[in-house]
Amino acid sequence: MAARGTIAATATEPVDIVMTQGILGLTVHEIARAQGFFDEFNIQPRVLQVSDGAKCVAALISGSAQICARSGFNQLTPAIERGARIKILAGALNLPSLAMYSAKTDIRKVSDLEGKVIGIGSVGSVLHQMTVVLLRKKGIDVGKVRFRNVGSNAEVLKSVIAKTVDGGLSDVDVIDSQQKLGMHVLPDGMLWKEIPEYTNQGTYASDEAIHRNRQALVRVLAAYAKAYRFVSGPGSKSAYILARRKVTGNADEAPAITQWNWIQQNQPYAVNLVLSDTQMNIVQKLNIDFKVQRSVLPVASIADMSLAKDALKLLK
């Protein structure tokens, strides 16, 4: 209770938060705002939206943001190896929320994609890395696949539907709209089932922000932890639909319901914030395999989970 009293007495503090433009993440952020979780911890979030994780890292290094709310961190550890002073603070979306889709009638399983064109983001991006991990798991020679950079997973879906690529990863929110969109999900291409060990997104901040604004960052983490717990519970459906509608400007409830049902069924969020060494090292080892990182860095040099642990104390 003393911790809550300390929070209540703290003046509202603005915090610059960078995040990617994924609908799932933006919806959870809107949940945190609409449910008053930022207000509870006296945080005024000032959001900068960027297109990918590399730009999140750049925003932290430049000082234009203090914390990245949620993004893949596969590009983070190579940057740290090159000298960037950034730390992973917490988990966010622990399970991948993507599936492999195709509009080609002859492609019914992942192995059918060998020799085909697959839509990805930039080479080295989370989207590219997860695609390769899935293909390798299914025994596909990646050298026999042609990758085409078409942008975000939303752009990948457009390319799949237009049949300019033979397949690609996109969000779970369209999994109930396959017939309407003229495409289909590959049953063995649901990443949350196929590569659950791959941590999709984490939360991270610059060493400078941690040093100067530690308590504010702790309170940001506490607000997000409350949002993760809220959206993971059965009473959040109406709030989730409203939040997604505000984020997208789309009144169609079907994708929101699909996404919310997926969250309830799979419980993908880091409700207790703390990431394990194993979760972080899996990503590091993949980076080495992809030749973007030379060696596995000590966890103490890439992460500081003490802020997540302090945030959890505020929730008791």
Give pLDDT tens digits for 169-201.
Answer: 999 999 999 999 999 999 999 999 999 999 999
pTM of the model: 0.92
Do residues 86 and 205 make contact, with C-beta atoms less than 8 angstroms apart?
Answer: yes
Q: How far apart are CA 113 and CA 90, in angstroms?
A: 35
Cβ contacts of residue 170 below 8 Å, gap of 6+?
A: 98, 99, 101, 153, 154, 156, 157, 160
pLDDT number for residue 2: 38
The C-alpha angle 189, 170, 76, rounded to 5 degrees, equals: 100
Model pLDDT, residue 45 = 97
- Sheet containing 98-102: order of strands: 146-149, 117-120, 167-171, 98-102, 184-190
Grouping H, G, I as helix, E, B as strand and the rest as coil, residue 235 is helix
DSSP 65-110: -SEEEEE--TTHHHHHHTT--EEEEEESB-S--EEEEE--TT--SG
Identify the CA nearest to 195 among candidates 101, 279, 109, 291: 279
Low-confidence ranges of the chain (pLDDT < 50): 1-6, 8-9
Q: How confident is the model at residue 7, as a pLDDT?
A: 52
Domains recognised in the chain with CATH numbers: 2-95+198-313 (3.40.190.10), 98-194 (3.40.190.10)
pLDDT at position 299: 97
Q: Name the token pair of 212.
A: 């100067």
Which residue, 53, 80, 313, 31, is CA-closest to 202? 53
Q: What is the pLDDT of residue 10?
A: 62
315 three-class SS: coil
pLDDT number for residue 64: 96
* Mean pLDDT (the chain, rounded): 94
Amino acid residing at 258: T
- Positive/negative CA dihedral, 203, 205, 207, 210: negative
**pLDDT for the residue 5:** 41
CA distance 208 to 67: 10
